[in-house]
Amino acid sequence: MPRQEDPVEQPLLQAVDLRVVFKPKSPQPIVALNNLNLRVESRSVTGLVGPDGAGKTTCLRLGAGLLVPQSGSMKVLGHDVVQEADLIRPRIGYMPQQFGLYEDLTVQENLDLYADLQDVPMSSRKSQFERLLDMTDLGKFTGRRSGQLSGGMKQKLGLACCLVKVPELLILDEPTVGVDPVSRRDIWRIVYQLVEEEGLGVLVSTAYLDEAERCNNVVVMHEGKKLAEGAPKSFYSRVEGRVFSIAPNPTQTARTLHGEVLQRNDVVDASIQSGMVRVVLSKESPLLADSVPLIGKNAEDENFKGVEDDTITEASMTPVTPRFEDVFVDMLQQHGASIEKLALSGKGSELVDNVIESTIDDAPAITVSKLLKQFGAFTAVHDISFMVQRGEIFGLLGANGAGKTTTFRMLCGLLNASDGEIQVAGNNMRKAPSKARSRIGYMAQKFSLYQQFTVAQNLKFYGKAYGLNRQHLQQRLNWAFREFDMEDRKDVVTQSLPAGFKQRLAMAAAMLHEPEILFLDEPTSGADPLARREFWARISKFAHEGVTVIVTTHFMEEAEYCDHLLIMAQGQQLAAGTPAQIRAQAVSEKTPDPTIEDAFIQLAGD
């Protein structure tokens, strides 16, 4: 009898020539997906990556049966998402970016509610709840209201609610945005534990390209199209031989070198990593032609345009192994995406002169001593002390719930301290916070401008709120449109702006009144990798011009751009110092050359 072949396992999700258009009858229809083909297999994790507007969320919502395509087809678990959506939904788990936790309900009550909604049998609930609470480390918090949980704990609870009934396909839309590295690690541990134990398939979008490295299969999307697909390491050959690490010379900081290197036309990407500048060169770079070991002088070479000859001539180039992020940025720029290259200016620039005029003394911009904040019997911040010098970028890091935002709000005068001293721009924030407010700019974690206003209307509103008179206001508006490249969008309604431009607008509003000190609360949370790079180039430019910047972030690689860091845990100071000093605390045989993230996980995870 002939041997029967094993049946070919069908994909959990299969999309063929999907096309989705929003506002199809408007003069400017938005093509969200353009002939997309996609497969998701069982027992594997498929990652979707791409800049804002690439179509990732649209694709995930289609898979959850929440959208209907104009053309093409998608089958999930063998069922058509248009005709048989009701058969699909009970068998999948879907966690959108804003998961619907009920904040007035406790952890246990949220789990009970989602078990009711998904018809989980009473007989299996106890064991499933125990398993989920163990996986998410929420067992001690079952009686706490979800609104009182930290951001990372909320995300883990949201994931647990998706899993009260084990799905065959799990769809996750940026599940780790706004989550600290320790919680991110926990979420990925849970995902892979389920893949291994239950054999389910996972389709996930992510803004963290290091997370793409964890996926079995990665799909790169741009403007609704699939640019490439494969295992993460299969992409490396695209930039092989073009990725280098450059050491700053003794007169430079890594951030200064980074800003100067970015001015070269043959640099596709540059980032700071462990005190070095990591660069991806274009295929046409003259530095590749003869395997040049050093960046040398050549005043007539267009690739050196805008770079002073004596700034990087001694910087040695060391070849390094590519990573997925290098390929991602290179690929997108080849397909028309770009990162705005901001020239570093110095004294004489419009912003610098005004900042220098008002900060002629050498006193620290911020001094904090024995800061304490209590909410009833709960101590949110205890005995925090630090100083921030003028023109510095100071990073405030910590796990979700560590007390960063509370500290941040006290520094801005938005929250009264219980005890301790806070001096901001020479003003005592406990006695006269209003005097300092005109000298600080604040960019909230969540976009807080008026969505129904145009770009110009938002800036005018905030300019008047800051007390700028008509002539001065117009000067500052002209500066903002020019500095943030928004001249051609000033009459665009804010709601319709791409995420990257909303970010620019929020920063422009915070800088409109020429503050000495700029507070940025997780400014790049949810932003795509290109927008993050552009944003940090602009922050570095302002710091170079004399503005003091205080920033919180969960992207640990962004901490490398800071001059000094403070890491908090449970309201207390865990570590402080330069990025190099923080990294040094994590050096071991296992990690001889640790990153800031390695150090953070070791310090905050203990």
φ, ψ dihedrals at 496, nearest 5°: -90, 0
- Burial (CB < 10 A; 0-12, 13-18, 19+), residue 71, is exposed
Do 209 and 280 belong to one domain? Answer: no
Is 538 among the domain residues?
A: yes
Longest dimension (CA), the chain: 93
Do 382 and 529 belong to one domain? Answer: yes
Is 337 among the domain residues?
A: no
Do 563 and 587 belong to one domain? Answer: yes
Residue partners of 497: CB distance under 8 A and separation at least 6: 455, 489, 505
Q: Tell me which residues of the chain have a pLDDT lower than 50.
A: 1, 3-6, 290-299, 304, 306-315, 347-349, 352-353, 355-356, 358-360
Q: Give the integer Cα–Cα distance in Å for 67 and 343.
A: 43
Residue partners of 117: CB distance under 8 A and separation at least 6: none
Q: For residue 282, what is the DSSP state?
A: -
Determine the residue type at 150.
S
Q: Give the integer Cα–Cα distance in Å for 66 and 274.
A: 43
Do 78 and 28 belong to one domain? Answer: yes
Q: Give the integer Cα–Cα distance in Å for 538 and 521.
A: 16
Q: Which of 528, 538, 532 is nearest to 49 (CA)?
A: 528
Do 157 and 64 belong to one domain? Answer: yes
Rg (CA), the chain: 25
Q: Given this model, what pLDDT does residue 312 score?
A: 44
Q: Given this model, what pLDDT does residue 331 score?
A: 94
Do 265 and 406 belong to one domain? Answer: no
Is 101 among the domain residues?
A: yes
Do 127 and 225 belong to one domain? Answer: yes
φ, ψ dihedrals at 365, nearest 5°: -70, -35
φ, ψ dihedrals at 20, nearest 5°: -130, 130
Helix, strand, coil share of the chain (percent; to 5): 35, 25, 40
pTM for this entry = 0.86
Residue 397's domain spans which residues?
Answer: 350-439+515-604
Do 479 and 356 belong to one domain? Answer: no
Q: Six-digit token pair at 333?
A: 């720029």
CATH of the domain at 296: 3.30.70
CATH of the domain at 592: 3.40.50.300
Do 184 and 204 belong to one domain? Answer: yes
State how far the alpha carbon of 90 is from the alpha carbons of 77, 115, 117, 132, 168, in Å: 11, 12, 10, 19, 10
Is 341 among the domain residues?
A: no
Do 272 and 170 belong to one domain? Answer: no
Q: Give the integer Cα–Cα distance in Å for 598 and 602.
A: 6
List, as own/partner pairs, every contact residues 404-407 make where C-beta atoms lie below 8 angstroms and the sequence separation is at least 24, other chains included: 404/552, 404/568, 405/445, 405/521, 405/552, 406/373, 406/380, 406/381, 406/571, 407/371, 407/373, 407/381, 407/568
Is 402 among the domain residues?
A: yes
Number of domains within the chain: 4
Do 222 and 85 belong to one domain? Answer: yes
Please give the sequence-ordered ranges of beta strands (E in DSSP) within 207-258, or none if there are none.
217-222, 225-230, 243-246
Of the candidates 461, 492, 514, which is a domain's last residue?
A: 514
φ, ψ dihedrals at 372, nearest 5°: -135, 135
Of the candidates 514, 540, 565, which is a domain's last residue?
A: 514
Q: Give the integer Cα–Cα distance in Å for 566 and 550.
A: 11
Do 280 and 154 belong to one domain? Answer: no
Is 272 among the domain residues?
A: yes
Is 446 among the domain residues?
A: no
Q: How close are the terminal C-alpha atoms of the chain, in Å?
A: 61
Q: Given this model, what pLDDT does residue 526 score?
A: 75
Is 69 among the domain residues?
A: yes
Of the candidates 207, 234, 261, which is a domain's last residue?
A: 234
Q: Given this model, what pLDDT does residue 589 score?
A: 85
For 79, the enclosing helix (H) or strand (E) is strand 79-80
Q: Given this model, what pLDDT does residue 352 score?
A: 44
